[in-house]
Structure 1
Amino acid sequence: MTAAMSTDCTFDIVFIGSGIACSMTLLELAQALLDGSATPAKLRIAVVERDEQFWCGIPYGPRTSPRSLAIQKLDEFVHEPERSAYISWLERNKARWLATFRERGADAAARWIRDNGEAVTDNRWGELYLPRYLFGLFIAEQVDAAIAALRKRDLADLITIRAEAVSARSVTGRHIIGLRTAEGGSTEIEADKVVMATGSPPSKPLAGRGSNPVSGAAFTYINDLYEPCEEGNLGRLREALDRVEQPDQRNVLVVGSNATSLEVLYLMRHDRRIRERLHSITVISRSGMLPYMICEEPPEFEFPWLNELLAMEAPRAVDLMAAIRADLEIAEKRALNLADLYAAIGVLLGQALSKMDRVEQEEFYCEHGMNFTKLVRRAGRDCRQASDELAAAGKLTMLAGEVLRVDACPSGEPFARVTYRTAGSERTHPDSFAAVVNCAGFEELDACSAPFLVSAMQNGLCRPNRTNRGLLVNGDFEASPNFYVVGPLLGGNFNSNIRFWHVENAPRIRSLAKSLAAHLVASLQPHEPSTRLNLCLTE
């Protein structure tokens, strides 16, 4: 635990997870309390976090490499009024964070500063894909200031608890949260309201032959790039390549071609020890394509299929998805940059959705939305150039296929072989791999391994929505009475207030956090002491 606690282990609100979704909700809640728009009794709030760092989460905290960049330029990454506050912070602290970035970021930082130095000097922040950890520092400072202000005004006591939430159940209308402490002990706390802000589910592990997990093999297997941290896993990749005597056997397999895959390619390209030893990287994914580079040069394109669909009185979701695919195929054949068609296709998509009845809208959000997102994945210049440079050097190969399994070499040598399906046939890749990096995505909720989420579902506090990637909530963010959800697990909801097929960017999370905070404030009432279950933390 990061703060001393009394024997009263009961709280008005308990947040599970302290990442950006939690931090933004706390900031909105604090603002409502500080400006006097809410007048509940003094609140007791607890935030449970298994990692040492609070308020940043995985993308913006120390588990992410200091070299990693935001996937959106600042103008898209944050909106007002937060945008102006973030820019002011960047300018006030420019000398300090640039020096730290230059020192910790090595080759990647040197390249980024070279490519973006003029914009930084001129304070043209909106066009930059900034180091991600900077936003974490900015948000953490804001949260610390908000907590201090709440305590000074005697509006709330906020206690941070370093532990992993492993269970959740409801007893006489109150929630009991089981914790596994950092020291290995177990305890329980009680809450009127729980806010689940745990981020995405765990990474889905790759399968090995039979029932043997590939993590037990002799080759280097990284199931989650951020576990325990990116820098540690980059060190494992260096060691894996160092162990291989034959240069042509220093091969790395990356499974998946999402944003995480692009990031690991960027980090390997700008890590001198990896780059100098590396023979090849093979990326296998269903699409066989990385996110498109944003060039800020929208091409002229008429979208014939989408415009034909818009002439219909009541288009269907399945027809909308088919029209999108058909137009993008035409654009790709013309060698147009799909990343720069994103804004135009977004306008047409919105027009089509507005013409649908509610049933068809829900069908698109829950059945087709994520497929649309995958078709138009985008990436900034800095990150995307790294993979292009690897390909130009003959070190990167993209393959379209479904990875079936990754097995250790029968000889017992520290290499892996990959079996995948492509064009309807099963193949074994001719290369062996010294290291395998899994970027294939997250577990679906009906097969989730996260203890707290499993317990909450088993005990009826929440259940998956239609997508099986998010939790079903009502318009007040409740999965069940007084059990709230915020962050990526809201993806796939379609109700009066929440309609998103994915919730993975900061502006969207901030807007949802604002709404959730308003619902929390409206529902807060003083508690009768006799209703407490009087649970205690054990040190």
Structure 2
Amino acid sequence: MQAEIKTKISDITFIGSGISSSFTILHFLDKLEATPDATEKIYITIIDKYSEFHTGIPYGSRSGYSVHLITSLKNFLPEPELSKFVKWLNENKGWLLDNLKKEGGDLSIEWMQTHAQKIENNDWEDLFIPRRFFGCYIEEKVNSRLDKFRQEGRLEISCVTGEVIDIEKEAERYHLSLKNDQVIVSHKVVLSVGSLPVNHLWKDEDLIEEDNLLFANDPYKPELAQTLQKIDAFSEGLGNNTPINVLIVGANASGLEMLYKFNDIAHIKSRIHKFSFLSTQGLLPDSVIDTEKRKEYVPEHLKALADKESLTAQEIANATYKDLDHADEINLGAASTVEIVSKAFGTLLGKLDTDELRKFACFHGNEIGRRQRCAGFHYSKTVDALKAEGRFNHIAGRFRDLKKNDNGDYVLQYLDTQTKTNLIDQDPVHIIINCVGSTNLSKENIPVLLQNMIKKGYAKANDSNIGFEVNEDLETLPNLHIMGPLLAGNIFDGKAVWHLEHCGRIIWLSKVLSEKFSSYFLNTVE
């Protein structure tokens, strides 16, 4: 297929094959199916750095079967896709659970046993299911639908494994240069590469191994299973006489997943003396809903803005923070307040003019989101168990450096959140996992393709610095479209967009883009 694409000009080329691309393709195929008189064959190329297509990192083999959604299934996937997925789960749960059991450990077995009755009854909506289940579903769905249209002669699809490093606009076409010197020519291009890469905290390598230190800057590269194998071998090599300490930097979904996997695999867990988290606020995502306090909680500061005819983004943000502060004062966590607070500030966004709405999308949405992090009980239960054993510590601060003590062990240097001074944690640390999150478009460590696009003026970062400015057709240039997390900081259909790792928002915007394709290729008008 790679040789064949050299002789053809692609109609649409997707750079990246995660769920943003997958849902765009699925929605476009719906449009194609509804237009039987459109007989001209459409050529689609999908390029990905890895050989696995249609899932991306979160839902593919690089994350594996035994890490879970950060929300319940019903909050992860909107209708009508939710019902379709549940039906598929009911039909495929046997082999899915077999794979979970094969790859997972003690906690995976416990999860299956705890929810055995719900699984037996096909009652999935409230479960925090393994993410890989959804990846298997979307991969099967995309492949089967593409095969159908290919057999009908309406579509030709080429999947190319490689990394796009440059793009050049020539007349009405784009020339995509790959790292392996291959060039692909396309009328339309969709840049859908997912989130920006992680920030390397210490040294410029994905995985650093020294005599008494293993530092994983990107635990999912090349895949989580290989990182865990490295951790297993490293911890075994230190021997039983070394009390091994683990530090996870960043109290987010990835951090909780890593803690869960350390404790899922018995022979790794048994070697670990203590786990520590380092995060700015010193707080973990919340998982327990306090139903009684939740009934009494009212976001008074946001409610007070309801009668104002016009507002600024800063006013809404300030009121939101005050209401979240009040929730903290009464010990009511994000799991109990996120729906209430989000609805309260969401209804106020309609009072913002376009400029203020864009400010909210660029500056305030993600900051508020950091105060509203939630997680599944299976993750928080792991923390609670470690706390009960006296094996868990959470430091409020920012990573600064590693220093060697007199014994030759590494210790953590961090900027303390409260005192704003650099401190040293005296406990030696042997395994460090970087989960601090992604870089931004102003940094030098962004992919070379994005660097080249910015240098050429093909794309410009918006004020969020994590997304590109696009027009209503999701374009930075004519026929050069953006899809997925790089759309953060924009406004579509009067709605501000700031967090595009959310599956519901991805489905919505992929449908918007597919409608643009339908108009372009099929002459349909919405």
Q: TM-score range by the shorter chain?
A: over 0.9
**What is the correspondence of 1:105-254 to structure 2 with a 5 Å cutoff?**
105-180=104-179, 185-207=180-202, 218=210, 219-245=213-239, 249-254=243-248
Cα shift at 1:376 = 0.6
Equivalents in 2 of 1:406, 1:36: separation in Å?
Answer: 61
**1:132 Cα offset (Å):** 0.7
Tell me the residue number matched to 1:63. Answer: 62
Identity %: 27
- Counterparts in 2 of 1:60 and 1:380: CA distance versus 1, 3 Å: same
Shift of 1:122: 1.3
The answer to whether structure 1 residue 419 and structure 2 residue 414 are counterparts is: yes
Aligned runs of 1:367-386 on 2, under 5 Å?
367-386=363-382
1:86 is aligned to 85
Look up the match of 2:22.
Answer: 23
Whole-Å separation in 1 of the counterparts to 2:46 and 2:191: 10
Cα pair 1:249 1:434 within 8 Å, conserved? no
The answer as to 2:253 corresponding to 1:259 is yes
Q: Offset of 1:241 from its aligned partner?
A: 2.2
* Aligned partners of 2:195 and 2:438 also within 8 Å: yes
Indicate conservation of the 8 Å contact 2:6/2:184, yes or no: no
Whether the 8 Å contact between 1:86 and 1:138 is mirrored in structure 2 is: yes
Deviation sequence 1:239-260 (CA, Å, 0-9, x none) = 2322334656401111111111
- Please give the alpha-carbon distance, in whole angstroms, between the structure 1 residues aligned to 2:122 and 2:321: 39
SS of alignment partner, residue 442 of structure 1: coil
Partner residue of 1:536? none
- 1:267 maps to a residue whose letter is K
Alpha carbons 2:405, 2:411 under 8 Å: kept: no
- Alpha-carbon distance in 2 for matches of 1:460, 1:173: 17
Query: Partners of 2:47 and 2:285 in 1: how far apart?
Result: 35
* Post-superposition CA distance 1:153-177 (Å, at most 9, x none): 2111011111111111212232111
Compared with structure 1, are the counterparts of its residues 111 and 50 closer, same or farther at alpha carbon in structure 2 (3 Å cutoff)? same
Q: 1:524 aligns with which of 515, 521, 524?
A: 521
Which of 431, 448, 465 is the aligned partner of 2:427? 431
State the one-letter code of the partner of 2:421. Answer: S
- Could you tell me which of 485, 509, 512 is aligned with 2:506? 509
Shift of 1:28: 0.8
Deviation sequence 1:366-421 (CA, Å, 0-9, x none): 111111111111111122222222222222211111112235x2779464543333
The answer for the alignment partner of 1:406 in structure 2 is 402
Q: Secondary structure at the match of 1:273?
A: helix
State the distance in 2 between where 1:240 and 1:165 align: 34
For residue 274 of structure 1, report the CA deviation from its aligned partner: 1.8
* In structure 2, C-alpha distance between the alignment counterparts of 1:515 and 1:299, rounded to whole Å: 37
User: Aligned partner of 2:284: which letter?
Assistant: L
The whole-number CA distance in structure 1 between the counterparts of 2:186 and 2:522 is 13
Q: Which sections of structure 1, spanning at least 5 residues, go unmatched?
A: 527-539
**Other-structure match for 1:283:** 277
From 446, 455, 467, the equivalent of 1:449 is 446
Amino acid at match of 1:361: L
Counterpart for residue 537 of structure 1: none
Match of 1:334 among 330, 333, 338: 330
Please list the CA deviations of residues 91-134 of structure 1 after superposition, one character each: whole Å capped at 9, or x if unmatched.
11122222222222222320111111111111111111111111
The answer for the alignment partner of 1:531 in structure 2 is: none
1:359 pairs with one of 355, 358, 361? 355
Distance in 2 between residues matched to 1:391 and 1:38, nearest whole Å: 64
Report the AA paired with residue 470 of structure 1.
G
Could you tell me how far apart the structure 2 residues matched to 1:26 and 1:38 are? 19
3-state SS, counterpart of residue 315 of structure 1:
coil
SS of the counterpart of 1:309? Answer: coil
Q: Which residue of 2 aligns with 1:491?
A: 488
Pick closer, same or farther for the CA change 1:206–1:383 going to 2, 3 Å.
same
Structure 2 stretches of 5 or more lacking a match?
none
1:462-515 CA-partner distances (Å, limit 9, x unpaired): 121110011111111111111101111111112546621111121211111111
Does 2:401 correspond to 1:440?
no
- Mapped contact 2:202–2:217 kept (Cα < 8 A): no
Please list, as runs of the form range in 1=range in 2, the aligned pairs for 1:389-404 lying within 5 A after superposition.
389-404=385-400
- Give distance in 2, aligned partners of 1:98 and 1:155: 36
Cα distance in 1 for partners of 2:242, 2:393 equals 15
Q: Which residue of 2 aligns with 1:475?
A: 472
Higher mean alpha-carbon deviation, 444-453 vs 197-206, is at 444-453
User: What does the per-residue CA deviation read over 1:507-538, in whole Å, with 9 as the maximum and x for residues that have no partner?
Assistant: 21111111101101212389xxxxxxxxxxxx
Q: Structure 1 residues 51 and 411, CA, compared in 2 at 3 Å: closer, same or farther? A: farther
Letter aligned with residue 520 of structure 1: F
Number of the residue aligned with 1:533: none
CA distance in 2, matches of 1:467, 1:155: 40
Of 272-281 and 287-296, the range deviating more from structure 2: 287-296
Q: Distance in 1 between matches of 2:358 and 2:309?
A: 18
Whether the aligned pair in 2 keeps the contact of 1:50 and 1:162 (CA below 8 Å) is yes
Q: Structure 1 residues 14, 325: CA separation in 2 closer, same or farther (over 3 Å shift)?
A: same
RMSD: 2.2
| 3-state SS in 1 of match to 2:104 | helix
Is the 1:176–1:188 contact (alpha carbons within 8 Å) kept by the matching residues of 2?
A: yes
1:213 Cα offset (Å): 6.7
Q: Does 1:461 align with 2:458?
A: yes
Answer whether contact 1:205 1:223 (CA < 8 A) is retained: yes
Match of 1:318 among 314, 321, 324: 314
Contact 1:203 1:442 (C-alpha < 8 Å) held by counterparts? yes
Question: How far off its partner does 1:288 sit?
Answer: 1.0
Quote the Cα distance in structure 2 between the aligned partners of 1:120 and 1:17. Answer: 33
Query: What is the Cα deviation at residue 424 of structure 1?
Result: 1.3
What residue identity is the alignment partner of 2:259? L
Cα contact 2:290–2:332 (8 A) shared by 1: no
